[in-house]
């Protein structure tokens, strides 16, 4: 429950921050550099899967050793050299580009708005 609320608050703060031109630039660049919100969420998903797999592996190894040696306890050495390895796979560039595209659209919108504001200010200025 707290995780869902945290994600909702983070999404709301991201949406509110896009009322300024700088955050969309920052969000687009970090998503393209594979260090943004989407990459972090992807890493957390992969991490949860690995935590589940390693937990199951450790439990099965502990059960195997307990079956071999009934006096085996939690303070005894447990060989886990056969454990599954964790490997983070970054999203492909196309996925990163699609994750950054809403922010790129906001950047285009902000640039158009600022150009229109500059032109209207220039037209209003009379140098006579």
pLDDT 10s digits, 67-91: 999 888 888 898 888 899 988 888 8
Residue 51 pLDDT > 70: yes
Q: How much is the mean pLDDT over the chain?
A: 90
- The alpha carbon dihedral of 25, 31, 36, 37 has a sign of positive
Query: Rounded to whole angstroms, how far apart are CA atoms 10 and 80?
Result: 38
**pTM, rounded to two decimals:** 0.71
- Residue range 13-18: average pLDDT? 92
pLDDT score of 37: 87
Residue 38 pLDDT > 90: no
Question: 57, 84 in Cβ contact below 8 A?
Answer: yes
Please give the structure tokens belonging to residue 11. 């999404």
Please give the structure tokens belonging to residue 58. 């450790």
pLDDT score of 127: 67
| Angle of the 22-32 helix axis to the 93-124 helix axis, nearest 10 | 160
DSSP one-letter string for the chain: -HHHHHHHHHHHHHHHHTTSSHHHHHHHHHHHTT-SHHHHHHHHHHHHHHHHHHHHHHHHHHHHHHHH-TT--TTS----TTPPPP---PPPHHHHHHHHHHHHHHHHHHHHHHHHHHHHHHHH----
- Residue range 31-49: average pLDDT? 90
- Residue range 112-116: average pLDDT? 95
Q: Could you state, in order of their start, the residue ranges of all structural domains in the chain?
A: 22-124
Please give the structure tokens belonging to residue 75. 């303070």
């Amino acid at each position: 429950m707290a995780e869902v609320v945290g994600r909702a608050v983070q999404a709301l703060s991201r949406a509110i921050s896009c009322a300024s031109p700088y955050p969309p630039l920052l969000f687009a660049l970090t998503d393209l550099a594979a260090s943004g919100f989407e990459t972090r969420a992807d890493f957390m998903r992969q991490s949860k899967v690995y935590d589940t797999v390693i937990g199951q592996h450790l439990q099965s190894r502990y059960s195997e050793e307990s079956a071999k040696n009934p006096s085996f306890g939690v303070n005894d050495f447990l060989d886990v050299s056969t454990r599954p390895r964790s490997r983070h796979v970054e999203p492909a560039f196309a996925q990163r580009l699609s994750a950054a595209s809403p922010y790129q659209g906001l950047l285009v919108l902000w640039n158009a708005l600022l150009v229109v504001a500059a032109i209207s200010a220039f037209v209003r200025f009379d140098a006579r």
